[in-house]
Structure 1
Amino acid sequence: MAGPLHIPTRRIVLATGVAGAAGAFLSGCTGEEARPVRSGPLADVPEWAPGPGADPPGARRRGKVITAWATEAQSYDPAIGWDLHSWEAISTVLHSPLYHYRGQYDGPAPHAAAAMPTVSRDGRVYTIPLRRDARFHNGRPVTAQDYVDSWTRILDPDLASWAASFLFTIEGAEAVYEKKAEKVSGLRALDSHTLRIRLTEPDVLMLALLCQPYTAALPAEEIRRLGSSFGRTPVGTGPYRITRYDSKRQRATFRRFDQYFWDGTPLVDTVEFRWGIDYAMQLLQLNAGSIDILGEGLVASQAPKFTADEETRERFVHPVPVRGSQWLALNLKRPELRDRRVRQALNWAVDREQLMRVTFGLSDPWGCPFPEKLDRYQRTAKPYTYDPDRARALLREAGVRRLRLDFPHGSQDPWPLLAQVLQQQFADVGVDIELRGMGQTAFDQITAEGAGDIYGRHMYITLNSALENVSSNYTTGASYNYAGYENQVVDELTAKARTARTLEASNALLAQVEEELVRDAAGVYIGSMRFLAARRPEIRNYQMRGESGSYYDRMWLKAA
């Protein structure tokens, strides 16, 4: 980032039952459709939204797709939600950012924007033409002013949006966040369908940021009308609109938005998200056909049952390329953990090969902070490997005879199992770990408050650059830097990498950042993530990108 990032004062803003036992509280709700899909018209799709894959012949329009989740989403408000459940809803169901990544691997392409932006010679001014057929779910046309208002809302410190710091390269954004100004000087609606963005300095991530769901336009009048309910029943611009949010029955229903600006899509009439379904039950329901997609993909406890048998794997499993890291955050409020030698010792103490075996193909062992595979990136850092003798020697050198650390963990796989294996590995070098299991919401809350000595973290990169990882977790005051890590070298190199004019130039600086993070042992690096999506074979044209989630606008159901 161009400057220090700021930690939102609260990360989980929706109290339990914020929408109440909503039931069918929205107008236009209907009962559930029958599961079999027996007929329907052939789809006529003149053009697809950006994303992976294409339309195969024989696609039919109608039916219902049910996706299962273990937990309730934090929020369907794109300025608030960030967990996997929230992210899929805000990325591919409810909201439409200006740009989307095209294909399975390609970069940004126009989505709610009419074309790619015009960029000034100095790289600081982006002029973006907007589509004239984009509408909110309430029927109102989307205007350039809606983007100005939506991004200004993200910067409101009272909202405490986790995404606020990602906008700080926009001129005047930080002043609004700090309540020194009411308007973002770098945002302007030149007319109803032209948006101009002025940056404080060039930003190599700007186009990627404009692909993110939190930069989608929101209708200010609906935010005012719905108040706290907006997080559960938002009004967006995506292929589906929410028609029912039922806290008691733990499900949300989304219906096809007939005024969606990509003609002919979506194909499926109804999408339903169900939560509160444990991982074992998800497998039973997927096999029985009562659910269609596992929202979180396969987790460690499920993977063996679906990957061991080749026929089952071919029917249900859909591997998806992702760029993600797994590591252990170290709370630097503990005096012992401020000693770099202790942090290095913890890295040498981890047998990553053994650790990753219990993830059953969902992670590869990896001793660096950035994902193992990155686009146009030449790594110079040497990963940590397993060397318990070296770990013991470093602890002795640091004067640590026996270290006792508190290790909280949530219910999200694979951390409960990984924590047990790590406990054994650390004990072998003289570090005692006290495991403290809890619900995922409680875990998210206490880590955001800086509690716990050591705990698991993972992150998928959505901006096609390791800048997202370092800027979110390792720069001073970063949004996810709950551990309080500070390193001036990392801050300075990251700022330069952000303002580089090309991805290659940025990555050369990031390679130096990674070297410093390895040398300084800013965390305990354990794995590079993989993702195995799972869906019923009756779901046709299933496509997904790791940055966005399942593309519900183009999938269709095979007729019974």
Structure 2
Amino acid sequence: MLDKLRLLVTTGLLGLTLMSPTLAADHTLRIAYTEDPKTADVQKTSDAYTLPLNIFDRLVEAETSGPGQSKLTPGLAESWDISEDGKTYTFHLRKGVLFHSGEELKADDVVFTFDRMLDPKTKALGTDILDFVDGASERLDGTAATVRGLQAVDDYTVKIVLKEPYAAFIALMASPQASIFNRKFTEPLGDQFGLSPETTNGTGPFILTEYNLNDSQVMEANENYYKGRSKLDRIVVRVVADAETLRMLFESDELDVFDVDYAMTQLPYFLASDKWKDQIRSGPRVGIYYYHINQALKPFDDVRVRKAFQMAINRKEILEKNFYGKGMLENGVIPRGVVCYASATPIEYNPEKAKQLLTEAGYPDGVDINLTQVSSWSSKWSDMNQIIQAQIKASGFNAQIKMMDESAYFDARKAGTVDNYTQTWSADFNDPDNFFYTFFSKSGTAVRGYNNNDPEVFAALDKARTMTNPEERCALYQKMNEKIVQEDAAWVPLFSLDHTYIVQPRVKNFTVPWNGWSDMSYYQMEVE
């Protein structure tokens, strides 16, 4: 595979690498990414999943089953058993699954993969997917050389023992971070794994054959894929940061898929285009935009001020102005598409009532606050801050936008001293725990600078993680929705967006992914 002819030819147009015309005629899918992923090693990234989702497989897979919906299906594990106490998971691996290197998948590879993630020398991201595994914390902090809860029973059976039941564990095993590596290939490479085609190896439907830093990546169909060869011959991923350039390349038939998430300013053009209106594909983006509130900083230590802040923000205006109305307002902690989602009490937009609440809280002449802006982040965040700055003025909030570099922001957030900021969170796995626990558990609310120190919430979210009755678990989360958003006014949920793509007519079987990212598996897609 690695000796194939180069698939790209260089031209002088805009300094970009463009595809050979012969490739556009075969079964090559041409897509774009706004920045270089830096690595194919999913343990070393927290957001660049296009390569991992196509090069690797997982024990369990989350497949899109409808707009903004997913189902868990067997992956490398053809089945699994869960003990009565909910703590022991036994995965039965498929026989005959081959890594790209030709090695057969064995249980030891699974144990190696998760042990590698927890090995402090790896400096892996996303280790929280293994938090519940017995012995994970000791391995991660360097006090143990192995993980008690990971065991290869035989070549095709893996046993994972948890410290206590965790209802979301199977969903976590379908997250990109749970991609499985081959010990024999990966271990000798150390931190060089995933940096080039020669150092990348998975079981997935595509094989990485080219990696041109800050320019492109090429993946070829895996002829020996256990589910059967993809109908695509290859995928070419272009690195293109500029929105206008993306549109130009798409319209000149240099790209097959235009992801509007990468170029929101181009959406009105496509919506109004007779040529493209029938090629638009859209579905719910399973993620939530929100405004953080830090209760450790005055005046937000007063719930009346927090409720006033909620009421002072015109969320609908932001959705319409910045995102062309393509989404829906959210009123809870989890957005549409997440398990246990239900309608929550709407947050009222009422500047006058917000002003009254500030007066009741002791600020009749208004109050000075800071809004955090990270200097290196996308302009969409500064745009949102400026809109909110203007909106909340009417209610008495005199907001200054405080610029910070990214490292200072993360340091302040971890220390619990960061001022209010706007951000988004997308579903890594389809479970409410991915949102509730991330933001409002005892550890989550501290490390993200919310400081919503509510013992009732802490206890409920800990309990929900271990509950095995789905209906009772969902009911508890819905109760916590009201507690966190309405009673504690701990944050401002803004909206979830629709995820819109425009595809060339040659693209078939395109399905908008259920999750909150732009990354997806292209295995079932076709091009004519």
TM-score w.r.t. the length of structure 2 is 0.86
Residues 1:98 and 2:41 are matched in the alignment: no
Change (3 A) 1:479 1:255: farther
Deviation per residue, 1:83-108 (Å, 9 max, x gap): 2xx123222x1110112134334521
Contact 2:34 2:262 (8 Å CA) reproduced: no
Q: CA RMSD in A?
A: 2.7
Match of 1:110 among 74, 89, 92: 74
Shift of 1:162: 3.6
SS in 1 for 2:436: helix
Match of 1:216 among 179, 182, 194: 179
Match of 2:522 among 552, 555, 558: 552
Contact 1:168 1:174 (8 Å CA) reproduced: yes
Which residue in 2 is equivalent to 1:139?
A: 102
Which residue in 2 is equivalent to 1:54?
A: none
Deviation per residue, 1:72-131 (Å, 9 max, x gap): 226432223222xx123222x111011213433452111211x22122222222211111
The letter of the residue matching 2:241 is I
Contact 2:29 2:236 (8 Å CA) reproduced: yes
How many equivalent residue pairs?
A: 500
2: distance between equivalents of 1:29 and 1:447?
Answer: 45
Change (3 A) 1:298 1:219: same
Contact 2:282 2:512 (8 Å CA) reproduced: no
For 1:392-541, what aligned pairs fall within 5 Å after superposition? Answer: 392-400=355-363, 401-409=366-374, 411-412=377-378, 414-435=380-401, 443=406, 445-450=407-412, 452-478=418-444, 481-485=447-451, 486-518=453-485, 519-541=487-509
TM-score w.r.t. the length of structure 1 is 0.82
Comparing 206-215 and 406-415, the one that deviates more: 406-415
2: distance between equivalents of 1:144 and 1:29?
Answer: 35
Match of 1:126 among 72, 83, 89: 89
Deviation per residue, 1:140-165 (Å, 9 max, x gap): 11211111111122223454434212
Contact 1:327 1:523 (8 Å CA) reproduced: yes
2: distance between equivalents of 1:198 and 1:433?
Answer: 50
SS in 2 for 1:100: strand
Comparing 62-71 and 517-526, the one that deviates more: 62-71
Percent identical = 22
Bigger share in strand: 2
Shift of 1:190: 0.5
Which residue in 1 is equivalent to 2:49?
A: 87
Contact 1:543 1:550 (8 Å CA) reproduced: no
Comparing 489-498 and 348-357, the one that deviates more: 489-498
Deviation per residue, 1:397-420 (Å, 9 max, x gap): 333432130421454474343222
1: distance between equivalents of 2:336 and 2:489?
Answer: 17
Shift of 1:437: 7.0
2: distance between equivalents of 1:230 and 1:337?
Answer: 46
Deviation per residue, 1:251-310 (Å, 9 max, x gap): 1222222222112x2222221222242122211211111112235646431221222346
1: distance between equivalents of 2:439 and 2:289?
Answer: 12
Which residue in 1 is equivalent to 2:7?
A: 31
Which residue in 1 is equivalent to 2:118?
A: 155
Residues 1:252 and 2:217 are matched in the alignment: yes
Contact 1:301 1:413 (8 Å CA) reproduced: no
Which residue in 1 is equivalent to 2:13?
A: none
Change (3 A) 1:375 1:477: closer
The letter of the residue matching 1:148 is V
Q: Which has the higher contact order (CA 8 A, sep 6+)?
A: 1
Which residue in 1 is equivalent to 2:243?
A: 279
The letter of the residue matching 2:503 is R
Which residue in 2 is equivalent to 1:18?
A: none
Which residue in 2 is equivalent to 1:239?
A: 205
1: distance between equivalents of 2:35 and 2:85?
Answer: 45
Residues 1:326 and 2:289 are matched in the alignment: yes
Contact 2:335 2:341 (8 Å CA) reproduced: no
2: distance between equivalents of 1:426 and 1:162?
Answer: 37
For 1:324-403, what aligned pairs fall within 5 Å after superposition? Answer: 324-332=287-295, 334-358=297-321, 359-372=323-336, 374-379=338-343, 381-400=344-363, 401-403=366-368
1: distance between equivalents of 2:22 and 2:4?
Answer: 23
Give 5+ residue unaligned stretches, structure 2: 9-18
